[in-house]
């Protein structure tokens, strides 16, 4: 106990006594320059990657590592496809008082033969190298293993081989992944796969350290993660290989929307040295937190949760609670359907107005077409083929203006068209589609089902409450989660990657087909919203009067 106390005190106060034991952004920046400028692109199996492996191994050895070596692999299993290559992982071992191991790693390969990979991931590799320098000079209870993986960009190959071939993998109690830390933006947190979630204590500790260092840069892509981890092929980083092995692991990635990664522009010119220093210092402080020997029996827990950041709070929603919420939403949906059917307007067959739903749908398609016209006009007058991957927020505002223009055009059709006055006609479509979406999503993912389930819950309550204003508000805001899922936190990056992977429109026909596909997707995704809003229009006289006012010619002007 006395020895453990002395080690803990030494670890906590060592950084205060020597400037040399602080994370050096200058040193890390020099490593980025070596990797992205001197060596350049480093795709898996290339001579440049081999050169990088040897250089990184040499750096580890120069810090006095007990062991520094390259763990090679010549066969890569990429989603069932066998690839013959010549790659590996540069590994260094710094022994501690305990045989239990903390691994700190990041990938050293770049995403393409023409991509310098300064931020992705020379910055992460440089961070790991600098942390190895620090911890080679500090007392530490745990054995520290610093490693730089090859082949991450083609499917986490290096880290997968590491957890398979590293002789002491059973002694690893924690893995921290450094993947992109060179931009002055939020630091994204990743801690899951399609079936495994890191322990809650690890996620909470990361946020606590972020707060204690006063950086306050950590964030979590709730909605992108919901979509991303629907399959094992979702994008991620090397921490996932460790999670799949049953080892607590977490990754830190600077905001991909603000960095030109996976392009030829991923150069050292875009590296922010101050941000790099904060990134490395943050991970260093997290390591300091754990070097008191408190991870001796840490394992993955069976408790699965969904992290949601709201109003500055981190809310950890247990998956079982989301399941109950979805089931309640389904029951409420069935109940509100029964009540709506019971209260429907009985009209003689000869007086019924046909295809009211189809007419509403046509108006919706007009609105969607107009939402695309904003981009078309930018292309016509400015010559930009892809305005949306660049100033996306501004483009969305611009598109919203066109959406309201489309609504005005669509409402002109209502001057001639007749619609069924029975709100039930529209409410039943909204409830049935939401029911199908929620039940179907539950089969795929409980977390995914929360999005249609949330809308089903609000629409159902909105149809049941007696207060008109409350009903209108609930139904109007009900699609918000589906919007957030579609326009998720990494929508800008995903849009940019579509272009980089060849999704390009170099003629009118391709652009027409792409827009038609997008309109079809949006019309299906927001079909429940369409019918829920139609329900409001025919249920409440105030909404109907507002729409009639909106369709006046003066609004167009």
Which of 11, 23, 24, 90 lies closest to 57 in space, CA to CA? 90
Map 280-326 to HEC letters.
Answer: HHHHHHHHHHHCCCCCCCCCCCCCCEEEEEECCEEEEEEHHHHHHHH
User: For residue 41, what pLDDT is reported?
Assistant: 97
Higher pLDDT among residues 322 and 511, named by residue: 322
Confidence of residue 494 (pLDDT cuts 50, 70, 90): confident
Return the exposure string of 269-278: e unless at least 16 CB atoms fall within 10 Å of the residue's CB, then b.
ebbbeebbbb
Is the pLDDT assigned to residue 327 strictly greater than 50?
A: yes
Range with lowest mean pLDDT among 104-118, 179-193, 390-404, 519-533: 390-404
Confidence of residue 18 (pLDDT cuts 50, 70, 90): very low
User: For residue 297, what pLDDT is reported?
Assistant: 62
Is the pLDDT assigned to residue 3 strictly greater than 50?
A: no
DSSP per position, 217-241: -EE--HHHHHHHTTSTTS---THHH
User: For residue 386, what pLDDT is reported?
Assistant: 61
Confidence of residue 6 (pLDDT cuts 50, 70, 90): very low
User: For residue 522, what pLDDT is reported?
Assistant: 87
Confidence of residue 389 (pLDDT cuts 50, 70, 90): low
Query: How many CB atoms within 10 Å of residue 180?
Result: 30
Map 341-405 to HEC letters.
Answer: HHCCCCCCHHHCCCCHHHHHHHHHHHHHHHHHHHHHHHHHHHCCCCCCCCCHHHHHHHHHHHHHH
Peptide bond into 369 cis (omega under 30): no
- Per DSSP, helices labelled H in 478-540 are 480-486, 491-500, 508-525, 527-539
Q: Average pLDDT, whole number, for the chain?
A: 90
Is the pLDDT assigned to residue 556 strictly greater than 50?
A: yes
pLDDT single digits (tens) 245-286: 999 999 999 988 888 899 899 999 999 999 999 999 999 999
Which of 97, 130, 98, 118 lies closest to 25 in space, CA to CA? 130
User: For residue 399, what pLDDT is reported?
Assistant: 86
Higher pLDDT among residues 23 and 385, named by residue: 23
Q: How far apart are alpha carbons 380 and 47 in whole angstroms?
A: 45
Torsion sign (Cα): 515, 518, 522, 524? positive
Which of 234, 275, 240, 287 lies closest to 119 in space, CA to CA? 275
Is the pLDDT assigned to residue 7 strictly greater than 50?
A: no
Task: Please report, rounded to a whole number, the percentage of residues in the chain having pLDDT higher than 70.
Answer: 92
Q: Identify how many contiguous H helices and E strands the chain contains and give both numbers.
A: 21, 10
Query: How many CB atoms within 10 Å of residue 385?
Result: 13
Range with lowest mean pLDDT among 109-113, 374-378, 396-400: 374-378
Strand 143-149 relative to strand 172-178, pairing = unpaired
Confidence of residue 212 (pLDDT cuts 50, 70, 90): very high
Higher pLDDT among residues 352 and 448, named by residue: 448
User: For residue 107, what pLDDT is reported?
Assistant: 97
> Sheet of 101-107: strands edge to edge?
67-78, 81-94, 143-149, 101-107, 172-178, 249-254, 187-190, 218-219
Confidence of residue 394 (pLDDT cuts 50, 70, 90): confident
User: For residue 450, what pLDDT is reported?
Assistant: 97
Which of 552, 522, 540 lies closest to 407 in space, CA to CA? 552
User: For residue 76, what pLDDT is reported?
Assistant: 81
User: For residue 124, what pLDDT is reported?
Assistant: 97
Which of 245, 91, 100 lies closest to 160 in space, CA to CA? 245
- List 89's β-bridge partners, or say none: 71, 149
Confidence of residue 367 (pLDDT cuts 50, 70, 90): very high
Q: How far apart are alpha carbons 90 and 72 in whole angstroms?
A: 9
Is the pLDDT assigned to residue 324 strictly greater than 90?
A: yes
User: For residue 13, what pLDDT is reported?
Assistant: 52
Which of 103, 118, 113 lies closest to 149 in space, CA to CA? 103
CA atoms within 13 A on the CB side of 511: 14
Six token digits for residue 139: 């007392």
Task: Please report, rounded to a whole number, the percentage of residues in the chain having pLDDT higher than 90.
Answer: 73
User: Which pTM does this prediction carry?
Assistant: 0.90
Region 168-180: what's the mean pLDDT? 96
Q: How far apart are alpha carbons 526 and 513 in whole angstroms?
A: 20
Q: How far apart are alpha carbons 319 and 305 in whole angstroms?
A: 5
Confidence of residue 51 (pLDDT cuts 50, 70, 90): very high
pLDDT single digits (tens) 436-466: 999 999 999 999 999 999 999 999 999 999 9
User: For residue 500, what pLDDT is reported?
Assistant: 66
Torsion sign (Cα): 153, 158, 161, 162? negative
pLDDT single digits (tens) 502-531: 666 666 677 777 778 888 888 888 999 999
User: For residue 176, what pLDDT is reported?
Assistant: 98
User: For residue 16, what pLDDT is reported?
Assistant: 46
Is the pLDDT assigned to residue 190 strictly greater than 60?
A: yes
The position carrying tokens 């179907």 is 440
């Amino acid at each position: 106990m006395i020895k453990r106390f002395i080690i803990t005190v030494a670890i906590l106060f060592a950084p205060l006594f020597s400037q040399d034991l602080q994370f050096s952004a200058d040193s890390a920046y020099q490593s980025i320059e070596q990797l992205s400028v001197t060596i350049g692109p480093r795709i898996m199996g290339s001579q440049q990657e081999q050169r990088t492996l040897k250089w990184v191994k040499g750096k580890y050895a120069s810090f006095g590592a007990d062991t520094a070596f390259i763990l090679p692999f010549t066969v890569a299993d990429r989603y069932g496809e066998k690839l013959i290559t010549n790659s590996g992982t540069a590994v260094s071992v710094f022994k501690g008082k305990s045989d239990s191991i903390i691994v700190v790693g990041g990938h050293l390969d770049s995403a393409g033969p023409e991509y310098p990979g300064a931020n992705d991931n020379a910055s992460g590799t440089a961070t790991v190298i600098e942390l190895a320098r620090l911890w080679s000079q500090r007392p530490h209870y745990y054995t520290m293993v610093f490693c730089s993986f090859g082949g991450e960009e083609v499917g986490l190959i290096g880290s997968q081989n590491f957890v398979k071939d590293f002789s002491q993998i059973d002694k690893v109690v924690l893995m921290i992944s450094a993947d992109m830390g060179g931009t002055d933006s939020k630091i994204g947190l990743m801690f899951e796969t399609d079936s495994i979630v890191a322990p809650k204590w690890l996620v909470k500790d990361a946020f606590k350290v972020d707060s204690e260092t006063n950086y306050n840069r950590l964030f979590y892509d709730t909605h992108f993660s919901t979509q991303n981890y629907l399959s094992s092929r979702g994008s991620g980083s090397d921490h996932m290989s460790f999670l799949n092995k049953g080892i607590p692991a977490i990754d830190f990635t600077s905001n991909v929307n603000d960095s030109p990664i996976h392009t030829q522009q991923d150069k050292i010119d875009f590296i922010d040295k101050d941000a790099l220093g904060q990134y490395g210092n943050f991970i260093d402080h997290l390591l300091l937190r754990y070097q008191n020997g408190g991870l001796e029996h840490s394992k993955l827990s069976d408790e699965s949760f969904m992290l949601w950041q709201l109003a500055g709070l981190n809310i950890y929603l247990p998956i079982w609670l989301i399941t109950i919420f979805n089931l309640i939403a389904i029951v409420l949906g069935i109940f509100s359907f029964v009540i709506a059917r019971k209260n429907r307007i009985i009209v003689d067959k000869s007086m019924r107005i046909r295809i009211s739903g189809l007419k509403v749908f046509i108006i919706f398609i007009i609105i969607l077409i107009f939402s695309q016209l904003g981009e078309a006009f930018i292309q016509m007058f400015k010559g930009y083929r892809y305005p949306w991957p660049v100033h996306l927020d501004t483009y969305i505002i611009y598109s919203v203006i066109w959406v309201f223009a489309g609504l005005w055009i669509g409402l002109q059709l209502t001057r001639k068209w007749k619609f069924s006055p029975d709100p039930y006609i529209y409410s039943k479509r909204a409830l049935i589609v939401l029911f199908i979406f929620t039940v179907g999503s539950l089969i795929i993912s409980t977390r995914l089902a929360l999005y249609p389930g949330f809308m089903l819950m609000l629409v159902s309550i909105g149809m049941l409450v007696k207060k008109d204003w409350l009903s209108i508000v609930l139904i109007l805001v009900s699609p918000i989660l589906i919007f957030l899922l579609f326009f998720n936190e990494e929508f800008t990056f995903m849009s940019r990657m579509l272009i980089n992977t060849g999704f390009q429109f170099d003629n009118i026909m391709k652009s027409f087909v792409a827009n038609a596909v997008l309109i079809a997707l949006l019309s299906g995704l927001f079909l429940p919203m369409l019918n829920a809003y139609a329900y409001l229009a025919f249920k409440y006289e105030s909404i109907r009067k507002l729409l009639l006012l909106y369709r006046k010619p003066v609004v167009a002007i």
